[in-house]
Copies of this chain bind each other. A is one copy, B any other.
């Protein structure tokens, strides 16, 4: 009985977090700074602009782009300028201008995207051409020395957008640019035009220098701000979700992010904010319920916490994004094995959950979890080993809607009566595009009373199933066999005209280092008669085989072999002749 009481007590400690409510957003995020590791100590207090003589730029701008379209193109520029008066970038064409990868159709629609959200027309990058001789016509020239990465935060007030659209792509591109993000000396230039806003401190973690805002580039009159070395565009390499601009939202087809990238990213962030990974026991449940305070409420969150504690023998802390510092929340999540929350951007923090943890996402009435799965997709990445369970309120009695709210928070009173009634009588939001679908907003901003008994019994079942669900080894899927070695082929006489071919070889030399698994090793053997356009192939499990068949004694045969392990096909050996 002691254990039981302790768990209840922890549950109540969790509830105590509620007393921290109502601090200002800006206040709570300053906590990140206090926790930062050494890299943050180098933050400058002022942007490093220096006024320079126009002759420094008289050779002109240079630009090198890579990629096929604005969606995947990134560019590097030397001496790219920005003119605050017109709010445009300028490419000065001079005698030292180099250009590559810049297509003639760079206005259709753009040279590059300034955010990782593809092809969004508020995120287009382009520049204005000017002959460098004209540089003397500008008032003053300020140069920002060193490396700058210029990009747009897509939606800097939303944690999901911050992590998915900005921070993970930043982590990826800075790693690529510097081969190792820890050696990055690139300054971030947040060109979206917003103020710092509540998550600005997170962006600070990606540079030893203070990020600049578009506003910081404002100089009066006809002045220019030029960048010594500017990198434009974020990578799409780490994104996994599309927000429904062109088709209903959902996971990107063929997204490429892996569990390891998530793990490297969260490890980087945790090291930057001073969160060390704590010991974590599979046997002791340690849960967090992320609550919301202004809308999309769980109306009985207190009861839910208490009952979860009682029935699951879990200590549940109820935490509000508005209350605790992000650092504190990340620290808690990093050592939790159960994270519960209603659908919302805070659940992006589930990427900090340790292996073996469980994410539970609650959906309001009439919202189909299958249609909104940024977090399910995230935590389901093979190798993350986080279980996911969606709980949907199916009981109309347990929902509270707000038909007279502002329309961006789901109000429908502004709609024609017929449309209102249609929405009110619908039991599931139909598929829709982003971002102003009234039925979607109406439903997602409902408050929910969770049917605690039903919730707990379904969760228990999900957790029991999750335990038997072992993660796959992500690294094994990257291991390819190399070429087979020492291929030999001999003709074995059968009749005067007909022979068999005896072929033998050694396994690839790298296989001896694949010690993790008992792997199935297969070999694909291709045999072609010289001057005949017909090749036959065999799949074998051994490194020696006698091929019977219509092989002609005085013909020449070419033999190629490649090794296959776990669907990974190695390269062919060079041709052998017999």
Contact = CB atoms under 8 A, between A and B. Distances in A.
Contact of A131 (B134, B228, B479): B479
A235 B101 CA distance: 11
B172 A100 contact: yes
Contact of A128 (B62, B86, B475, B510): B510
Given A76-B179, A95-B260, A179-B78, A516 B478 contact: no
Interface in A65-114: 66-68, 76-78, 86, 88, 93-101, 107
A98 B515 contact: no
A300 B317 CA distance: 97
A560 interface: no
A571 B479 contact: no
A100 B513 contact: no
A516 B130 CA distance: 11
A176 interface: yes
A229 interface: yes
A419 interface: no
Contact of A513 (B77, B101, B126, B137): B137
Contact of A98 (B66, B175, B228, B510): B175
B93 A479 contact: yes
A554 interface: no
A62 B97 contact: no
A14 B152 CA distance: 63
A131 B514 CA distance: 6
A4 interface: no
Contacts of A263: 95
Nearest to A571: B107
Nearest to A481: B129
Contacts of A278: none
Contact of A482 (B95, B128, B260): B128
Given A95-B260, A98-B261, A100-B176, A513 B482 contact: no
How many of these chains are in the complex? 2
A180 B22 CA distance: 51
A68 B571 CA distance: 19
Contact of A62 (B133, B175, B514): B175
A115 to B, nearest CB: 18
B129 A478 contact: yes
A256 interface: yes
Contact of A96 (B130, B134, B264): B264
B129 A264 contact: no
Interface in A214-267: 228-229, 235, 237, 256, 260-261, 263-264
A509 interface: yes
A94 B572 CA distance: 26
Nearest to A65: B176
Interface residues of A, number: 57
B571 A513 contact: no
Contacts of A179: 62, 76-78, 228-229
A577 interface: no
A94 B134 CA distance: 53
Contact of A86 (B67, B175, B509, B570): B509
A229 B513 CA distance: 24
A64 interface: yes
A463 interface: no
A569 interface: yes
Nearest to A227: B179
Nearest to A60: B475
B516 A131 contact: yes
Nearest to A228: B179
A480 interface: yes
A130 B88 contact: no
Contact of A93 (B67, B126, B264, B475): B475
Interface in A166-201: 172, 175-176, 179-180
Given A93-B479, A107-B569, A129-B510, 17 more contacts: A62-B180, A64-B175, A77-B179, A78-B179, A78-B180, A93-B478, A95-B260, A98-B172, A98-B261, A100-B235, A101-B237, A107-B570, A107-B571, A128-B482, A129-B482, A131-B479, A131-B515
22 contacts: A86-B509, A93-B475, A95-B260, A95-B263, A96-B264, A97-B260, A97-B475, A98-B260, A98-B261, A98-B264, A100-B256, A101-B237, A107-B480, A107-B569, A107-B572, A126-B571, A128-B510, A129-B478, A131-B479, A131-B513, A131-B514, A133-B515
